[in-house]
Amino acid sequence: MNSSTPLPPGSRYLIADRAGFRLRGVLEKWESLLVLLLAALFIAGGLLLPNFLDLHNLSDSTFNFSEKALIALPMALLIICREIDISVSGILALSSVAMGLAKSYGVPAEALLFVALATGTACGWLNGFMVTRFGLPSIVVTIGTVSLFRGLASVVLGDQAFTGYPSMMTEWGQGYAFGIIPRSFVLLLAFAALFAIVLHATSWGRRIYAIGNNPVAARFSGIRVDRYRLALFMLTGAMAGLASYLLTGRIDSTRPNIAMGWELEVITMVILGGVSIAGGAGTIGGVMLAVLVLGMVTYGLSLANVPGIYMTIVIGVLLLATIAIPRLLRGKKTAK
């Protein structure tokens, strides 16, 4: 409270409606640490790598993470709700195969996006149905379905590949908005804004937080917990279908190993963004900052000609660190 604020007559204290601004409180937020880390990456990259700050290079670097980040947005909501979907890379692969089959049977180019979205949504429904109807742990269900979805994709493809997709798909996957910004990145920003509004400014978002904090209390308060969980699994599947449309258009092919291992990178984006693996906490802003941090790390390593296999090591270390560090800090505070 500001000392110059007048006190009501006969009062010794004034209780503020909200806490005052404290710099230390801002710096202790996970999002603030991500901003500092992102700034450090730009500074280090600009000093050590000659072409790091080139606008065209920075713009093209967004191709490498935009599709993954589109899946990370609904994954964040799912993890806040105490669930997880390991099958997203399998959903993406099966959606890509579905588009290839549809194309080969003469389905119009305009309908391929709906084929991908429908396939992804159906896969998400299967995950959600197994979790909500039979009470199975989502991590167990989706470990099983990722093998199912990718197995189906591999059986259909064999050792072949679907190629020659319509120009409409390649324009969305490879094209630019305003001549410099990749269309996939523009889509990511639009969806990030939409997800942020839903999660942080609507009753739907507040109910997701309530379910993540205490599912039993949320159910007794009248929230249809299983309906929300099922909807989030279906939303995650649909966004994986959208990512499949963009990725397939970008590489202009469907291959058996498409998006292999993406589930680890998507989950790392979410956890690095400050979403609690235990549920009930996290922000879309934090997830987007984590997306940019990981994107700039990948971009810098590629400019330095570091082999891609090392990026897998970096992702694994970041995932372990972001899970362990908050727990260690909470342990120290408790000990004090």
For residue 34, with 0-12 CB atoms within 10 Å meaning exposed, 13-18 middle and 19 or more buried, which class applies? buried
Segments in the chain forming alpha helices (H): 23-27, 30-48, 55-61, 66-80, 88-104, 112-134, 138-157, 167-174, 183-201, 203-213, 215-220, 225-251, 262-272, 284-303, 309-335
The radius of gyration of the chain's CA atoms, rounded to the nearest angstrom, is 22
Domains (range + CATH), the chain: 31-38+51-331 (1.10.3470)
pLDDT in tens, the chain (336 residues): 454 556 556 555 555 555 555 655 555 688 998 999 999 999 999 999 999 999 999 999 999 999 999 999 999 999 999 999 999 999 999 999 999 999 999 999 999 999 999 999 999 999 999 999 999 999 999 999 999 999 999 999 988 899 999 999 999 999 999 889 999 999 999 999 999 999 999 999 999 999 999 999 999 999 999 999 999 999 999 999 999 999 999 999 999 899 998 998 999 999 999 999 899 999 999 999 999 999 999 999 999 988 877 778 887 887 787 777 766 766 665 555
In contact, 124 and 233? CB cutoff 8 Å = yes
Distance CA 36, CA 28 (A): 12
The secondary structure of 145-184 as a DSSP string is HHHHHHHHHHHHHTT--EE---HHHHHHHH-EETTTEEHH
Please indicate, yes or no, whether the overall pTM of this predicted structure exceeds 0.85: yes
